[in-house]
Each structure stands twice: as C-alpha cells, then as structure tokens.
Structure 1
C-alpha cells in the first residue's frame, strides 16, 4: 500500500510539473476590449513560451563557442538592448499568440513572428548585450574596425545598397546606420557557421569585420563579463500604458512630418496634368503598381509592412492632390518611383531611430 501511495504522489508531482499555466482571462476578449487593458494588468511572462526556448538555444550556441555570457531578458513595449545594460528587452507580444494576433492586426506584421526572423533579431540584440557586458566598444581594434561608437545617429541616413563594406542581416542596410549597429549586424552574421559567412562574403571588405569579430570572440572565450548588473529598463510589469495608447503612439512614429515634404521628388517622377492631353493619372499608376512595389520593398529591403503600406497610401493621395500624370514609360516611372519610396522610408526610419536614441 505504501509503495503504491508513493508512486501516485510521484506521478501527480510529474503531472503538475508538466502542466502549462492557465490561459489568462484577457485571451478571450475582443480586440477593442483588449486594447483597453494596461500592460501591467496582462501579467505576462516568458516562461513556457516559444521565445524562451529560442533564448536558451542561442545561449547554448554561445557556450559552445566558449563565451560565458548569458544576458538577462525581460518584456517591454519594444525590442531593444539599452546602453550599459548586458540584457535584452523583448517585445511584449512575443509572450502570447493572442498578443501576436493583435500586433499583426494593428501593424500588419509581427516583428520576429517567424523562426527565421526571430533568430535574426535575437542574434542582433545578443550582440548589443555582449558589447555592453564586455565593454567591447572601448577597445582600439573595435573602433578601428567599426568606427566611433559615441557618434550620434546621422541627421541624414543615406544607405548604399550596393556597398560591400557592410554585412546584410536585418534589412534596410541597417549596418550602415551607426558603428554599434554595424558591430551587432556583423556579430549576428558571425554566429552562422564559419564556412558559410566566409563563403558568402568572400571578396567583400566586410569580411575583414567578420574576421575581427571571430578573433575577438576567441579572446573572450572562457572570460567572465566586466558588467554584470541585472537592471530592467522599462519593464512591462510596471507599465501603466494601455495597449490602445501604445499603438496610437507606435503608428504616429511613422507619420509624415508634412505630407508635402516629398512633393518635389514626386514631380520629378511624374508630370503635371494639362487639359486636352490624355495621360494616365499618377495615382492610378501607383495604385496599380502597389503590389509589385510592396513585394520589392518588403522582401528585398525587408522594410516594415505597416510603414510600406502607410507610405504608399500617402504617396497615392499626394499624386492625386497634385494632379500628377504619367509622362514617361511605365518602366522608367517604376524605377524612379522605387527610388522615391525608398528615400521616404529610410528618412522615416532614420527619424524614428533618432527619437529612440536621444
């Protein structure tokens, strides 16, 4: 009898150990009701989530390479790794599928919403945390390789898509925006198998940066971090903002400072309508070309879908307001329009980054 009783207790203990936490009540709310919830009331946790497993996998990858560093993680409104803190803030919606669905509805996309994208983001943010933990940017070799980390983000961010001085990882040529981002993107590529990045970047000046990171990580092998504080910056558990206010502010970040600021560029692509001359309306041309433009901007440049949709909607409206028409071949107009759209998108991303880093 005693033996059977003990066996039952062990069995129940194992069952409790493998039982997933109960679903929170807000899971069944409508989108409108959920948007009225405050972040702190959601009581979110990373335990038993897919991203928790993903974090452990990346930590194991670092350990296999001899790097004795495991950044602490917490949930916040957005993805980021704060300066001076060897940790990573993870976007709140990654804690539950219901919140990911809401994010997709509000922003047209979930940043890190698939395994491949999540891996890219996590490797990038791990790089920032590693930089903070070992104070890598203070090293002379780091500065000679990537530049001055104290430089402010440029007022005008003009990426060079054809440049081979930088690796390609997150998209929209992010490594070109700042020395710290250049390092983070290079480290993220370095975490791939060595044979792969050597092959992919053979003949590129960027290969020198990858080789520097490879050497630097060998030097760090087996050493403990210099900075080990566990500060939590803007944790979701203390955030009393409602989800509705969060998304209102997030969408506002991508608004144009002035709808007419790019009118001159559009006038260089399209002509002015004249009575008696039959020409396709520029707004019609952009609307018809929109699916192709979106595919190019989101797949090749990996730009944020909500931002792409928003910019195209605004450009269509400006073409209509200015009464512009197509006065060149469609092929020429498409090429020129892509250049304008890319310029607008990069300007908005640069402005958003400036606000975030000030």
Structure 2
C-alpha cells in the first residue's frame, strides 16, 4: 500500500491497475516453445485486477472544492505553511539546475519537482501531428495530453499520458542508461504509440464499447486491465500488426486501439495491406464508425486532475527501483551444474571474460529471437557472468559452437520466463 505521505495521490490508488498501459506485459511466443524441453513448459498465468472503486466522503470533496494543490502535496497538510505559486522562471531555473547533475544526484530528485512541461518541446509538434491526422479524417476530438510515468490512458478518462522521460534529453539519457532503451524515443515510434493511445481515448470519449456492433467486432470488454500474459497466434490474420508482440491479441480494447492506429496511419493503404485478411472487416467497421463520428463532439468528457493519475510524486530512484523490479522479480539462483556443463574447459579464456567480450552479440541475438526487453536479458547475462567468475570457469576461445551453445542456453532461460514468469527451471 502507498505510504501515508503519498495519500493525496493514493486515494485513487486503484488507478495503477485501472489503466490501459503497456508496462511489463509479457508475450508468449508459441513458435519457439516447440523446441523447449517439456520440463520447462507450464501453463501461462493470467492476472485480472478489477479496479475496485474508492469512496471519497462528500464532506471532503466539498471542503476541497476550488482548492488548487501544488505538487508534491504535503499530507497531512501542514498548518501555517504558505503555498507559493510556481512560476515559469522558477521551473526554468530548476531545469537548469538538475539537467547538469550526475545520475546519482538526479536520482534523488522528485519527478514532480523537475518543472517538466510539454510546451516548448519537440513533442508538441508530434502531438500536433496527431491532431492533424485526426482532423484530416473529419474528427474534431483532440485528446488532451499530460506528462505521466508511462504511456497510458486511464480507464474511463479520454486523455493520453506521455512518459516524463521523453520531455528532456537529460531524462532520456537516464532512461537509456538505466533501461537500455527509450520507449517512444524516435518520432516514428512516438507517433505509433500516440495513434494507439488515441484509439483508447476515442473509445472512452464516444462510449464505443456500448455499441453492439463494436462488441461483435472486437469482443466483450471489461474494466479490468489487460492480462499480464497472453499467447498470441503469430500467423493469425484476424488482427492487425501495428505495435510489436502481436499486441492486438492481448485484449479487445487493445485490438480496437491497434486497429484504430492502423486506420489512422497516413500513407498506409490498409485496404491493400490487409486484403483477404479477416482483420479487414474490423478496419472497415472503424472506417464506417469514424465517418459517423465526423464533426461530432465527444459524448463523455469527465472532469479529472492529471495529478491524480500521473504518479510523478516520487523520486527518480524510487521510480526506477519499481521499474527494474518489473523485470527482475523472478530471477533464479542459476544452476551451477548448467554453467559447469556449458563452460567445461579445464583451461582457456575465463568464462566471465568470454561472456563480457561477446555480451553485445549474445544480447542482440537473444532479444531478436525472443523479443524480450534488453534490460532483462542484459541483467540475466550480468548475473551469469558474475557467477562464472565466482566458479572460476573457463571456455575454449576457438570453439565455433560455444557461441551457439551459450545463446541457446540463455534463450531457453528467457523463453521459460516468457512462458512461466520465471527464469528458474521446474523440476
């Protein structure tokens, strides 16, 4: 549970489970599972977390009406402490201050105090591009955008939250250093994600899931988050291909958002691209549906405070500790017997040095075939390397099959994680 000092944001604590976000969702690649030993395979687990509503006393809401809270919000409110409005000059001074700090110093900063804004950044031009694409289709609703802790659209709120680390080059560098990649870090990648999230926003703004034809086309939806795992059919033509990992197959809402994104993509002839695919029926339905919504304002625009959803009132070190935990939560005690069998040479190059020398090559190969996050595979490699040093193992530097055996071993561990949620083998 959130700590007491974060309670002003945590009264909507269920929001973390009540978002259509893409964080830490695992895809199971069945095509590669056929080659795995049966001992490694078990049934995937599906996690459903309905967002139980939190009741806020009406007296509290009445007493807070019209009050503007700066962030971070002290809790409980300290008596006798004056609230000072934050000016643009103060924000600019803060940016100039933290942008030159070392990673160690920067990690001690609270994200909500960094003075981050979308205005004046290169992201605004990309956001305007999304709005232009919507306008070109006759659509008048332009989803509002906010800075958040990740890519997401809160359930029931037609607004897009963009990760804070995309707002400033210094934060991009920290994200890349910590996680080895920056989701949405290129204009092309950013726009693909924006079109996807716009699909979710339109779904809520126009209450599309209430339509019978929508449910017949995409399936029965719910207020639950997308399952943490799903088993896609890579060769299925019933779903479009937009984001990686056959993401449209993870949930009816994601199927709609992905199909909407393909329909919206400029210059893409989806009639031709998906000719003879069952997914074409979904694209044609969206085309028909969006034409009917042309020049119509949204039906549902609830009031909300972005601060209740952005989850930025934490230190960067806490944010990355949580984020790393998503990718580290099932690391095993690796079997010494496996490593001793893999590096059985009595003499030769040290196995730890061998892995360090070939780390990049192995990392790229494993990530290519498993589509796993580089951070997770890199951490796995680092742990294997440290254990090899501790065991004093050696490898033959001139063995042409050594790279293959090492890559196959690590791929097997990663695939076991993708299928079971654990690297550790089952007996």
Partner of 1:52: 124
Output the CA distance in 2 between the equivalents of 1:51 and 1:290: 34
The question of whether the paired residues in 2 share the 8 Å contact of 1:40 and 1:239 is answered with yes
Instruction: Compare the two structures and name the one with the higher helix fraction.
Output: 1
Partner of 2:104: 32
Per-residue deviation, 1:133:
0.6
Partner of 1:13: none
Change (3 A) 1:79 1:274: closer
The question of whether the paired residues in 1 share the 8 Å contact of 2:370 and 2:411 is answered with no
Secondary structure in structure 1 of the residue aligned to 2:230: coil
Structure-to-structure mapping, 1:237-256, within 5 angstroms: 239-256=312-329
Per-residue deviation, 1:50:
0.8
Per-residue deviation, 1:82:
0.4
The question of whether the paired residues in 2 share the 8 Å contact of 1:80 and 1:90 is answered with yes
Structure 1's unaligned 5+ residue stretches are 1-20, 350-358
Cα RMSD (Å) of the superposition?
A: 3.9
Partner of 2:278: 205
Structure-to-structure mapping, 1:164-313, within 5 angstroms: 164-193=237-266, 196-234=269-307, 239-257=312-330, 259=332, 291=360, 294-295=363-364, 298=367, 303-313=372-382
Output the CA distance in 2 between the equivalents of 1:172 and 1:318: 32
Structure-to-structure mapping, 1:27-176, within 5 angstroms: 27-150=99-222, 153-154=226-227, 156-176=229-249
Output the CA distance in 1 between the equivalents of 2:300 and 2:159: 10
TM-score (norm 2): 0.63
The question of whether the paired residues in 1 share the 8 Å contact of 2:153 and 2:197 is answered with yes
Per-residue deviation, 1:65:
0.4
Change (3 A) 1:189 1:284: farther
Per-residue deviation, 1:242:
0.8
The question of whether the paired residues in 2 share the 8 Å contact of 1:259 and 1:318 is answered with no
My pick for the range that moved more, 84-93 or 215-224, is 215-224
Change (3 A) 1:291 1:99: closer
Output the CA distance in 2 between the equivalents of 1:186 and 1:274: 48
- Deviation readout 1:248-280 (Å, 9 max, x if unpaired): 1110111133516x98xx98xx996799999xx
The question of whether the paired residues in 2 share the 8 Å contact of 1:82 and 1:233 is answered with no
Per-residue deviation, 1:220:
1.2
- Deviation readout 1:33-74 (Å, 9 max, x if unpaired): 111111121111111111111111111110110111111111
Output the CA distance in 1 between the equivalents of 2:355 and 2:241: 29
Secondary structure in structure 2 of the residue aligned to 1:253: helix
My pick for the range that moved more, 283-292 or 38-47, is 283-292
My pick for the range that moved more, 303-312 or 132-141, is 303-312
TM-score (norm 1): 0.74
Secondary structure in structure 2 of the residue aligned to 1:160: coil
Partner of 2:50: none
Per-residue deviation, 1:173:
1.7
The question of whether the paired residues in 2 share the 8 Å contact of 1:307 and 1:345 is answered with no
Output the CA distance in 2 between the equivalents of 1:24 and 1:277: 56
Per-residue deviation, 1:116:
1.0
Structure 2's unaligned 5+ residue stretches are 1-91, 396-400, 423-427
